[in-house]
Amino acid sequence: METRAPEGTDSPPATLAPARTGVPTLAADAAATPIAAAVTTPAAGATATDAVDAEGGGRVRGVAGARRAGGEEPAIAVLGVRHHGPGSARAVRAELERLRPDVVLIEGPPEADALVPLAADPEMRPPVALLAHVPGDPSKAAFWPFAVFSPEWQAIAYAVEAGVEVRFCDLPAAHTLALDADPVLRDPIGELAEAAGYDDPERWWEDLVEHRGETGTLDVVAEAMTAVREGHVADGTEALREAYMRSVLRKAVRDGHRNIAVVCGAWHLPALTELPPAARDERLLRGLPKVKVAMTWVPWTHGRLAAAGGYGAGVASPGWYDHLFASPRRPIERWLTRAAHVLREEGLPVSSAHVIEAVRLAVSLAALRGRPLAGLSEVTEAARAVLCEGDDLAVELIGRRMVVGERLGHVPDSTPMVPLQRHLREEQRRVRLKPEALSREHDLDLRKPLDLERSRLLHRLGMLGVPWGTTRQARGKGTFRESWTLEWRPEFDVALIEAAAWGTTVEGAASARARDLSASPHLNELTALVERCLLAHLPDALPRVLRAIEDRAALDSEVRHLMAALPALVRAHRYGDVRGTEGLGPIAESLLARICAGLSPALTGLDDDSAREMLALIDGVHGAVALMETDRWLPTLAGIAGRAGLPGLVEGRVVRILFDAGALPEGDDVATRMARAMSPGNPPARAASWMEGFLSGGGLLLVHDARLLATVDGWLTGLSPEAFVDVLPLLRRTFGAFAPPERRMIGDRVRSGPVAPDPETAAYDDDLAAGAVRTVLEILGKA
């Protein structure tokens, strides 16, 4: 999957994980082509052919901002831009309003020309992105993101408002997705910043353009970019893209346009002002590989515009840039006021006086550093020192909420969508769940119809590979509660396009996907699938999945597979009453019967890794049995507890389960069993494994049972130094799993003296106990 260096981008698609093999990463070129403007005017007496010679080549000439004085020759203005820059966006908009072109060419996929009118829809709210994908193979997809502060978006907005034709002029997506594009390695902006004595290209660009925005600056950057590119010979994908841009420019002239504006990455500006013979470009473009593509608009997020998210053409602070574009007047005061509001929402005390002092500090820092306007570094330092009082967590909160931002764009309903996308939008409205870029927590009560429908929608999307919601530990107890964390990500639209092959509605597609997954040969996957079908309420898919389980269970003789499958099936059965589904008890009972019959042989000849795996399976089955009405399990464990040849880990765990359940055979004593397991006749490693298995249920047992603690303490103190070193890793793993309070109490008991009381000196003092006894009897009403 790719992310195209957005609006009028100057670079090939940037990789958005997961990357498509062969798609280039947007390195320098994307970060490198800031706003520059070169407006061309043919020399006096020249003809259109002189300006743009379709056969013999030519040069697009002129001074930035100039207009043709008269005649029939076309005036061509090439505006070189950097993606996602507020100063750049304002300058491009102002230049277009001055030039009033009759056609605007924008770097982007030509397949999107028909989608431009949607930009005029009031429901279209950036950030948004053009999405190109190959029908039938959605893994081949590319995005071209746009923010409101993107120069290319402002060019589109100007054109649709003025009724001017817009054409995208980059290499078509049909070729881009078929090519193994090569990466771009140069960073022209970094080179210019270094030449200017800056160690931070972003800061240099902000000082030069974003914090100034004068039109004349664009000419300076254009000249600088031309100088940086001097001697550079384009090749590979870059050469193809620039050849196609020139061909679109020539076609615009042939179609009779006389006032043409081109908005492209500044890196490409010299390639469009020098026009070689058309035949050369035609030869270069002839025979390119091609695939069929579909194009649409999709919502985007500020987080996905951030360079930190892996987007090569991204900016470090999209939220900050959005603020600069929306608040050209008094941006520092407005920013720090918003920061104070964010902190107050989190319960942090921030007054108006804090804001005033923070503004003064930011302005002073900018003056000391010789900057035309306080930048992000200055306002962040001011916020840290004054608003946050040095608290880094509060600064991180401002960064997450404001510097990067949490805005999610929106596309109108008239946007081309696959039926599944459109149905999901309807479902989101029906259950009143709004997709947001901000991660939000939702606690659902499944006894309420609306919450139950929300749960089913989220589970169905999970079945389709669209994890809009992720489950977390529910607050409170009860199977009727679910807790979710919801966060919408732009790549979910691609996942929906891919899932559209399963059906036109969310429920129908999820059911078809579940039926397809029922072909899995693994029993544990099938039982987990039953649980997912119940949670998603997919009654059409459930019968096939249950038949598949019966078929696999009848053929699968491996006890481990049955043990791995049982817990999910029992959990699914537990949800039956709440979700109105039929019980799955008979299937679970059948699996448990086969597990009990085959458990003892399955415990023979286990190595350490196999024993640890079996321990997890036994715990899983034991937890599942607690939800079933059965008396099979504990007698099975009692029957194998004393069997010779059991791994120490498994034997210790089985004894602990029986002890906790009060199911040890009559006359059997857990302290005696522990003493026997830790006797000198057993190897120290086996004794340590037995203890690990026994104590894996928690350490409070040692706190409250002095005999067990004495046994463990006596065994440890009786080990030789060599044996102690050998078992130390096992001991650390055992005691390290205890909660800190448990470890502390065990240590206190050991430090307090003999861990087992002397029976001859431990007599009770009846007089001291009498008061406590009377109090307990009064509480029980028996005094």
166 to each of 33, 56, 189, 262, 270, how far by Cα in Å? 21, 27, 28, 10, 22
Could you give phi then psi for residue 681, rounded to 5 degrees? -75, -15
Asked, for residue 573, whether it belongs to a domain, the answer is: no
Q: What is the pLDDT of residues 513-536, one digit of tens each?
A: 999 998 888 888 888 888 888 889
Q: Which of 701, 688, 641 is nearest to 668 (CA)?
A: 641
What's the token pair of residue 124? 């279209």
Q: What is the pLDDT of residues 720-735, one digit of tens each?
A: 888 788 778 877 777 7
pTM, two decimals, is 0.68
Asked, for residue 722, whether it belongs to a domain, the answer is: yes
Q: What is the pLDDT of residue 497?
A: 86
Structural domain ending residue among the three candidates 502, 527, 556: 502
3-class DSSP state of 632: coil
Terminal Cα distance for the chain, rounded: 77
What's the token pair of residue 77? 């203005």
Could you give phi then psi for residue 312, rounded to 5 degrees? -60, -35
Cβ neighbours, 10 Å, residue 620: 17
Are the beta carbons of 175 and 292 closer than 8 angstroms? no
pLDDT bin (cut points 50, 70, 90) of residue 697 is: low
Asked, for residue 278, whether it belongs to a domain, the answer is: yes
Q: Which domain holds residue 92?
A: 2-309
Asked, for residue 459, whether it belongs to a domain, the answer is: yes
The mean pLDDT of the chain is: 80
Q: Is the same domain home to 33 and 62?
A: yes
Which residues have a Cβ under 8 Å from the Cβ of 591 and sit 6 or more positions away?
Answer: 553, 562, 565, 566, 569
The most confident of 74-78, 108-112, 208-212, 231-235, by mean pLDDT: 108-112
For the sheet containing 2-3, what is the strand order?
14-15, 2-3, 137-146, 128-134, 294-299
Q: Which of 132, 117, 140, 194 is nearest to 22 (CA)?
A: 140
Q: Is the same domain home to 432 and 473?
A: yes
Asked, for residue 632, whether it belongs to a domain, the answer is: no
3-class DSSP state of 400: helix
Are the beta carbons of 587 and 527 closer than 8 angstroms? no
Sign of CA dihedral 98, 101, 107, 110: positive
pLDDT at residue 51 above 70?
no
Structural domain ending residue among the three candidates 442, 477, 502: 502
Q: How far, in Å, CA of 94 to CA of 154, rounded? A: 10
Strands 75-81 and 36-40, sheet pairing: antiparallel
pLDDT bin (cut points 50, 70, 90) of residue 65 is: very low
* Segments in 100-214 forming alpha helices (H): 151-162, 173-176, 188-195, 201-205
Q: Which of 500, 133, 107 is nearest to 292 (CA)?
A: 133
Could you give phi then psi for residue 46, rounded to 5 degrees? -75, 160
Q: What is the pLDDT of residue 561?
A: 85
Are the beta carbons of 369 and 204 closer than 8 angstroms? no
Q: How far, in Å, CA of 255 to CA of 424, rounded? A: 42
Asked, for residue 628, whether it belongs to a domain, the answer is: no
Q: How many residues does the chain have?
A: 783
The most confident of 113-122, 181-190, 498-507, by mean pLDDT: 113-122
Could you give phi then psi for residue 486, rounded to 5 degrees? -105, 135
Asked, for residue 586, whether it belongs to a domain, the answer is: no
What's the token pair of residue 3? 């992310």
58 to each of 391, 413, 728, how far by Cα in Å? 60, 45, 81
pLDDT at residue 63 above 60?
no
Q: Is the same domain home to 700 and 750?
A: yes
187 to each of 43, 196, 403, 559, how far by Cα in Å? 34, 14, 24, 60
Q: How far, in Å, CA of 718 to CA of 721, rounded? A: 9
Q: Is the same domain home to 16 and 109?
A: yes
Q: Is the same domain home to 146 and 205?
A: yes
Q: What is the pLDDT of residues 331-360, one digit of tens each?
A: 999 999 999 999 999 899 999 999 999 999
pLDDT bin (cut points 50, 70, 90) of residue 218 is: low
For the sheet containing 75-81, what is the strand order?
36-40, 75-81, 259-265, 103-106, 165-168
Q: Is 667 exposed, middle or buried (0-12, 13-18, 19+ CB in 10 A)?
A: exposed
505 to each of 73, 453, 557, 560, 600, how far by Cα in Å? 55, 15, 39, 38, 48
Q: Is the same domain home to 361 and 254?
A: no
Torsion angle, alpha carbons of 467, 473, 479, 482, to 10: -40
pLDDT at residue 555 above 80?
no
In DSSP notation, 731-744 reads HHHHHHTS-HHHHH
pLDDT at residue 385 above 50?
yes
Structural domain ending residue among the three candidates 274, 309, 344: 309
Determine what percent of the chain falls in helix, strand and coil, rounding each to the nearest 5.
55, 10, 35
Q: What is the pLDDT of residues 114-143, one digit of tens each?
A: 999 999 999 999 999 999 988 877 678 888
Q: Is the same domain home to 379 and 460?
A: no
Are the beta carbons of 151 and 326 closer than 8 angstroms? no
Q: How far, in Å, CA of 536 to CA of 579, rounded? A: 10
Q: Is the same domain home to 118 and 256?
A: yes
Determine which helix (DSSP H) or strand (DSSP E) holds 482, and give its type and residue range.
Answer: strand 481-486
In the chain, the largest separation of any two C-alpha atoms, in whole Å, equals 122
pLDDT bin (cut points 50, 70, 90) of residue 279 is: very high
Q: Is the same domain home to 443 and 377?
A: no
Q: Is the same domain home to 390 and 437?
A: no
In DSSP notation, 36-78 reads EEEEE-PPTT--HHHHS-TTT-EE----TT----SSSPPEEEE
Q: What is the DSSP letter of 315?
A: B
Q: Is the same domain home to 285 and 334?
A: no
Per-residue pLDDT, averaged over 182-202, amounts to 75
Domain count, the chain: 4
pLDDT bin (cut points 50, 70, 90) of residue 307 is: low
Q: Which of 562, 570, 566, 589 is nearest to 627 (CA)?
A: 570
Per-residue pLDDT, averaged over 233-255, amounts to 92
Strands 294-299 and 128-134, sheet pairing: antiparallel
Q: Is the same domain home to 297 and 424?
A: no
pLDDT at residue 5 above 80?
no
pLDDT bin (cut points 50, 70, 90) of residue 217 is: low
Are the beta carbons of 124 and 118 closer than 8 angstroms? yes
pLDDT at residue 424 above 50?
yes
Q: How far, in Å, CA of 563 to CA of 181, rounded? A: 49
Strands 165-168 and 103-106, sheet pairing: parallel
Q: What is the pLDDT of residue 174?
A: 94
Are the beta carbons of 215 and 94 closer than 8 angstroms? yes
424-438, 627-641, 667-681 — which is least confidently predicted?
A: 667-681
Asked, for residue 297, whether it belongs to a domain, the answer is: yes
Which residues have a Cβ under 8 Å from the Cβ of 655 and sit 6 or more positions away?
Answer: 641, 664, 670, 673, 693, 694
What's the token pair of residue 560? 């481990």
pLDDT bin (cut points 50, 70, 90) of residue 252 is: very high
